[in-house]
Amino acid sequence: MILLQDLLTVTLPLAILFYTQSTQSLTCFCTDQYLCPDTKCVTDGVCRAFIKLKSDNSVKQGFQCIDKNKLYPPERPFSCQNSKAVAHHYKHQCCDKVNFCNLNLTLEFESSKKNLDSEVEDVLLESNKRTIYLVITVLASSVVILATGCIVYIVRFSKAGACSYDLPCFQSYSEVDTKSCDAMSTTTLQDWMSMSCSGSGSGLPLLLQRTIARQICLKECIGQGRFGEVQRGVWRGSNVAVKIFSSLDETSWVREVEVYQTSMLRHDNILGFIAADNKDSGTCTQLWLITHYMEKGSLYDYLTMNTVDTEQAIKMCLNIATGLAHLHLEIQGTQGKPAIAHRDLKSKNILVGGDGVCAIGDLGLAVRHNSRSNSLDLPLNCKVGTKRYLAPEVLDGTINDADFESFKQGDIYALGLVFWEVAYRIKNESELCPQYQPPYWDMVGIDPSLDQMRKVVCLDQMRPEMPSNWNDSEPSHSMAKIMAECWYSDPLARLSALRIKKSLQNILTLLPKTTECNLVFA
């Protein structure tokens, strides 16, 4: 009895397992010669039949098994559902009732009538699209023609002087917009400056600055530098210079605009500031600084292309010294003007106007001195100027950064080098004038390093040699003496800008009287 009970305990589960497996298996007809070499397959899922339209319009029919783990989702498997997008060339169907049930499935493609209906629908849809495109084209053409007619109509009335309430006046609003439309259309930049500026040097009112900046038409590039480029622009027939900074150099732009807007800065020998604005160029944001246009470019460019006579050279040097003296000068008053040191004085930062007047520009590295608090307003960047023009105390690191006089003395050293550049191009009747050369051209290369300049200026105590074509006249000796007193290694021994200005004025009075020169002095 015990043996019979043990036998039942072992065989009964095996029988149940065998029965379960046999009920879950399904035998299907299969045409896959690699997976089903004997044309049948066994699966726990479903049997499937499919038809496929080949490229030669023949129909291929196939049969296969799909396992249960590939039926997803179980209630509506994707493997057994037909897609409308491919129904015209591929269809399939599944079954799981009896073995070889996929042989009983009948599949066929849609009738030719339905295909014809589909083609008719496609033709109608294409016709509708063409109609829509035609309507859009007609409407767009009508808008363009109407806009062109309006512009022609308005331009004709504008030329005829018709400025009435019926037509808009195309002048942007400004704080000084008190003239009539006709008068506004003929107002030049000089008129705006005289109407809007108090002489403080801060340019036009802020709202008017933005108005002018957006009306300027750029014409050509006239210079490039580490900040960006300078272009000539035109506003109402007047030329202006537009210094364009990259948005990555916003700090330098803000600093230079800030210094140019210093109260009481405006002077004939300092580049005139007009406006500042930012503009979107489409790919990046441009920062504009708009100043007076100097027709002859920088002093560096002018001396490269031209020679000067003795009188013209002294007047140019006097212009530069006068501008620097005004920068260094502190003006006491209600608004007043702080003393300013340039810190990057060189021939490329001095501009020459059409009448030969020289003006100092590029105040991005300038430092301002507040005498009341005895504090310095230094730029945030760490630039120290051009290496070729750096004073000895800057090169060897002995300059006192806390003393404003140290920065002024550095400007005087650079001023002496600029005087040498001008004197080097003085033409002499007896000798041929040498080509333009920068200071220390015979001692260092085109782009000298700080170590090279330190060796030449500080260790070897070298200075530029006086040109061989100078004559023995008194103006030449006086100019050479002024340059030598600007180049002293001891900063305290150097002349002041005001002393240099007065010395040049005395030299100018001793020159023989020639034709009037229209240079302007303060």
Q: What is the mean pLDDT of residues 100-114?
A: 78
Distance CA 228, CA 189 (A): 25
Residue 514 pLDDT exceeds 60: no
What does pLDDT average to over the chain? 82
Contact 508, 521 (CB under 8 A): no
- Give the C-alpha distances (Å, rounded to integers) separating 54 from 58, 88, 266, 421: 5, 11, 87, 87
pLDDT at 392 over 80: yes
Query: Which segments within 353-428 are labelled E, that is strand?
Result: 358-360, 367-370, 375-377
Average pLDDT over residues 459-486: 84
pLDDT of residue 444: 92
Paired strand residues for 239:
234
- 73 preceded by a cis bond (ω within 30 of 0): yes
Average pLDDT over residues 385-390: 93
What pLDDT band is residue 518 in, cutting at 50, 70 and 90? Answer: very low
| Residue 247 tokens, joined | 């948005």
How far is residue 138's CA from residue 414's CA, in Å, rounded to a whole number? 68
Q: Which domains does the chain have, with CATH numbers?
A: 24-104 (2.10.60.10), 197-292 (3.30.200.20), 299-510 (1.10.510.10)
Residue 394 pLDDT: 94
- The pLDDT assigned to 484 comes to 93
Whether residue 212 has pLDDT greater than 50: yes
**pLDDT value for 455:** 95
- From the list 96, 344, 362, 411, the catalytic residue is 344
Residue with tokens 């990555």: 248
400 contacts 406 by C-beta, under 8 angstroms: yes
pLDDT at position 198 over 70: no
Backbone angles phi, psi at 203, to 5 degrees: 80, -160
Residue 229 confidence (pLDDT) above 70: yes
Cβ(355)–Cβ(519) below 8 Å: yes
Cα–Cα distances in angstroms (integers) from residue 236 to residues 222, 255, 293, in the given order? 20, 28, 14
Residue 504 pLDDT > 80, yes or no? yes
> What's the pLDDT at 472?
64
Residue 169 to residue 158: CA distance in whole angstroms? 9
Confidence bin at 262 (pLDDT 50/70/90): confident
Please indicate whether residue 167 or residue 76 has the higher confidence score (pLDDT).
Answer: 76
- Split at pLDDT 50, 70, 90, the class of 2 is very low
**Which tokens go with 351?**
């501009």
d(CA 484, CA 494): 9
What's the whole-number mean pLDDT along residues 238-266?
88
Average confidence (pLDDT) over 242-253: 87
Terminal CA-CA length for the chain:
136
**CB contact at 8 A, 260 and 363:** yes
Record the tokens describing residue 203, joined without a space.
């340019």
Instruction: Record the tokens describing residue 366, joined without a space.
Output: 């300038």
For residue 229, give both structure tokens.
Answer: 């480029």
472 is catalytic: no
Instruction: State residue 115's pLDDT score.
Output: 57
399-436 pLDDT tens trace = 998 999 999 999 999 999 999 999 999 887 767 788 89
Q: Within 10 A of 348 (CB to CB), how many other CB atoms are there?
A: 18
**Residues 474-483, mean pLDDT to the nearest whole number:** 87
> For 263-271, what is the mean pLDDT?
91
Distance CA 86, CA 137 (A): 36
Tell me the per-residue pLDDT of 26-40, one tens digit each, with 9 for 90 and over. Answer: 999 999 888 888 889
